[in-house]
Structure 1
Amino acid sequence: MNLFSTSGNLKEKKRVLVSTRLLREGFSQLEEHFEVAFPENEVFSRNEILQLLPSFDAFVPTFQFKVDKDIIDAGQDRLKIIANFGVGYNNIDIDYACRKNILVTNTPDPVIEPTAEQAFALMLAAARRVAECDRKLRLKDGLKWGVLENLGQTLYGKTIGIVGMGRIGQSLARRALANGMKIVYYNRTKLPLDIENLYQAEWMELDNLLSASDVVSLHVPLTNETFHLIDSKKLARMKTTAILINTARGPVVNELDLVKVLKDRRIYAAALDVYEFEPIINQELLQMDNVVLAPHNGTATIEARNDMARLVSQNIIRYFAGRTDINRVN
C-alpha cells in the first residue's frame, strides 16, 4: 500500500518529502517543479520517515517533528535541504545539519501577524475573563449574574511589557498602541530611535519591565539563554494584577513555577499558547479559572498555513536554482 501521494514527473524532478499532510494550495508552485510526497494519513511516523528519506532531495518537517541526528543521517548523501514549516527551528539539530552540509530554512514572515493577533486575543481573553465566563455559562448554575459579578480588567491605559521586540513583538505593539496601551520592551539591544518613536516604546531592563507592566508578553526564540527566562524570581517581580502571555516557546517559562504563582494568586492570570512539555499540559493549569489555554495554534489560520507553504516552496525552489535569497537558518 502506498504511504504517500505524489505529484510531478518522477524521472525529471527532484523529490521533496513532507512530514505532514498540509494544505496543498500553498505547495502548487513546488509541485510544478518537483515531485512532492505527502502522507496519505495525517503524518508520517518517525519510522516511515527513516525508511523514505534516503530517496529524497529535500525534507519539509513541521515544527512538531523532531529532526535529530538519526533523521538527518537517513538522508545519506542525497538530502540537501531541510525546509522547516515554521519560524522556530528548535525541533532541528542545527549543528549536526551543518556538519552534514545540509541547509536549514524556516518561514519567518507568514507567522508575524497571526502570532501577534493570537497574543492580543489571549491578552483580551485573560483580562476580560472571556474563556472562564464562556465555560461557566455552559454549566447549570455555573455563573452568577450581577453588576459586580465576573469583573475583569480593562487594558485601555495599561502598560504592556514586550519581551523580545522583533517583528512579532512590534506587530503586537502596534495593536496595543491602538488599544490605548503604553509600550515598554526588553531586548538585549535597544531598537533604533525611529522605531521606538513609532510605537512610543521605552526600553527597560527585564527586571524593571516585569515590575512596571500590567501585561507581560513573551516573543523570544528558545535558546540556552532564554530557557526558563521566566522563573520564580522573575514572576515574583510582577504585579499581583499582572497577566503573563506566552506565544513564544513553552520552555521560556518554568511551568512549575508559573503554576505555583497562579495557584497562590500572586499574579492575576496567564494566557498560554505553548507549554514546556507539550503536547502534555500540566493538569493543574487545566483546572484553573485564571488561565486561558490554546493548543499552540498561534499561526493556525488558513491564510497563514498557505503562506508558510508558499515560503517553504520558494526556499526549496530557489536553493536548487542556486539562489541565495532564501530564509537560511544555518
Structure 2
Amino acid sequence: MAQKVVVFSQINKEILEKLKKKYHVVEINPKLGDVNQQILTEVQDADGMIGAGRILNKKNLSSATRLKVISSVSVGYDNYDLEYLKQKNIYLCHTPHVLTETTADLAFTLLMSAARKVVALDQWTKAGEWKRTVSPSQFGQDIFAKKLGIIGLGNIGTAIARRGFYGFNMQILYHSRKEKPEVANAFNAQYCELDELLQQSDFIIIAVDLNADSKALIRTEHFEKMQKHAVFINIARGSVVDEQALIQALKTNQIYAAGLDVYEKEPLQESELFGLDNVITLPHIGSATAETRYKMAELAYQNLIDGLENRRPKYTVNI
C-alpha cells in the first residue's frame, strides 16, 4: 500500500503530480471547512506532510500515529511546534539557500523604492498630477556610498551586503548574535552593537530569524535612535518589529520611510500603514518568483522523499 502524504497548502503543480505518482495524496481544501479539523482527520494515518503557511502543533497533529516527516516549502519555521515534533520524532524540514538571492533582491527593491519615493511618484504621475516639475518635497535621497546597516548577517544578510558593497559602494555595518569576520572581511563590514548601528546607518535592513531573542527586537526606543533620514526595511518577520512603534515613527517623521514585506498579522487587511505615503507595503513576496518558488518546491519534495524512505533529510531543523 502506498504511503499517505497530506498536502496542507497549495504547492507547485508539477511537484504535486510527481507526488501523486508515488504516494496516496490528500489535499487540504479550505473550501471544505475547518482546515485544522481536516488536518486532524487526515493526519491520523499519514506518513508525510508538505506545504507552507499553516500553524502545525499538538492541537492539529495529536491524532498522528505514523507521521515521519513534515516538509515545509519555506525557509522560516516559526509556525511549527519544534519541541512537539522533536518529542514525536517527526522530522521538520525547510528550504534554505534557494531563496537567498531573490529575497536579497527584494530588500534592495524596497530600499531603492522607498529612498526615491517610487510608489508615491508613480501614483502622482498616473493621477495626472505631472503638470510641472517635481517640488523639493517630492525629492528622494541618494543611495550610492551611503551607510547600510544590516541586522542579521546570515545567508540573506550576506547577499544584501554584497549588493550594497559591490553595487552601490556602500559602507556596511552589521549586527548579529556573534561577529562574523570571515564573512565581513569580504565587504569591509564593521560589526556594531545594535544602538550604534541604528545611530549611524542611512539605511537599515532587518534580516534575522524570528526566535525568542529577536521577537520585538526593534521598538520605540530604537526608532528614536535612528537618523531622521533613515530608511527602514523589514524582509524578515513582522514580529521582529513593534508594528505600532513603527507606525508612530512614520507618522511623526521620526524616520524618513520604510519598506515592508512582512507584518505582525498576515495577510494584512486593515492597517494605519495603508494611509501613510512614506511606507511601501508588499504582500510577503520575498521568494515570489517563478524560478525560486519552483526550486523551493523541488527541495521540499526531496526532503519529503528522504524522510518517507527512511533517509535523514538534508535540511532538518529539529532532529
Q: TM-score of the superposition, structure 2-length normalised?
A: 0.92
Do structure 1's residue 301 and structure 2's residue 285 form an aligned pair? no
Do the aligned partners of residues 185 and 143 (structure 1) sit closer, same or farther apart at CA in structure 2, a change above 3 Å counting? Answer: farther
Q: Does the CA-based 8 Å contact 2:11-2:51 persist in structure 1?
A: no
CA distance in 1 between partners of 2:296 and 2:183 (Å): 27
Counterpart of 2:169 in structure 1 is 180
> Counterpart of 1:162 in 2: which secondary structure?
strand
CA distance in 2 between partners of 1:292 and 1:43 (Å): 35
Paired residues in the alignment total 316
Counterpart of 1:54 in structure 2 is 44
Give deviations 1:268-319, integer Å, cap 9, x for gaps. 0010000112223552110101001100111111111111111111111122
Q: Does the CA-based 8 Å contact 1:72-1:97 persist in structure 2?
A: no
Give deviations 1:69-121, integer Å, cap 9, x for gaps. 111213x2121111111111111111111122211111112221111111110
The aligned runs of 1:286-297 (5 Å cut-off) are: 286-297=274-285
Shift of 1:127: 0.5
> Counterpart of 1:121 in 2: which secondary structure?
helix
Counterpart of 1:314 in structure 2 is 302
Of residues 143, 148, 155, the one that matches 1:155 is: 143
Amino acid at match of 2:91: L
Counterpart of 1:216 in structure 2 is 204
Do the aligned partners of residues 90 and 40 (structure 1) sit closer, same or farther apart at CA in structure 2, a change above 3 Å counting? Answer: closer
Of residues 1, 4, 20, the one that matches 1:15 is: 4
CA distance in 1 between partners of 2:276 and 2:132 (Å): 18
Moved more, 268-277 or 27-36: 27-36
Give deviations 1:122-149, integer Å, cap 9, x for gaps. 1111001111111222224388633646
Counterpart of 2:180 in structure 1 is 191
Amino acid at match of 1:52: E
Do structure 1's residue 79 and structure 2's residue 67 form an aligned pair? yes
Shift of 1:205: 0.7
CA distance in 1 between partners of 2:82 and 2:187 (Å): 34
Do the aligned partners of residues 92 and 201 (structure 1) sit closer, same or farther apart at CA in structure 2, a change above 3 Å counting? Answer: same
Of residues 238, 244, 249, the one that matches 1:250 is: 238
CA distance in 1 between partners of 2:118 and 2:283 (Å): 17
Do the aligned partners of residues 325 and 65 (structure 1) sit closer, same or farther apart at CA in structure 2, a change above 3 Å counting? Answer: closer
> Counterpart of 1:60 in 2: which secondary structure?
strand
Do the aligned partners of residues 135 and 93 (structure 1) sit closer, same or farther apart at CA in structure 2, a change above 3 Å counting? Answer: same
Q: TM-score of the superposition, structure 1-length normalised?
A: 0.90
Counterpart of 1:4 in structure 2 is none
Give deviations 1:22-51, integer Å, cap 9, x for gaps. 222245654454333335678982222222
Do the aligned partners of residues 287 and 305 (structure 1) sit closer, same or farther apart at CA in structure 2, a change above 3 Å counting? Answer: same
CA distance in 2 between partners of 1:180 and 1:213 (Å): 14
Q: Does the CA-based 8 Å contact 1:21-1:42 persist in structure 2?
A: no
Do the aligned partners of residues 102 and 164 (structure 1) sit closer, same or farther apart at CA in structure 2, a change above 3 Å counting? Answer: same
Of residues 278, 284, 297, the one that matches 2:272 is: 284
Q: Does the CA-based 8 Å contact 1:231-1:253 persist in structure 2?
A: yes
State percent identity of aligned pairs. 35
Amino acid at match of 2:8: S
> Counterpart of 1:154 in 2: which secondary structure?
coil
Counterpart of 2:123 in structure 1 is 135
Q: Does the CA-based 8 Å contact 1:30-1:314 persist in structure 2?
A: no
> Counterpart of 1:131 in 2: which secondary structure?
helix
CA distance in 2 between partners of 1:281 and 1:241 (Å): 28
CA distance in 2 between partners of 1:170 and 1:87 (Å): 16
Amino acid at match of 1:320: L
CA distance in 1 between partners of 2:280 and 2:84 (Å): 37
> Counterpart of 1:37 in 2: which secondary structure?
strand
CA distance in 1 between partners of 2:154 and 2:31 (Å): 33
Counterpart of 1:89 in structure 2 is 77
Q: Does the CA-based 8 Å contact 2:111-2:231 persist in structure 1?
A: yes
Give deviations 1:138-162, integer Å, cap 9, x for gaps. 2243886336462101110101101
Counterpart of 2:257 in structure 1 is 269
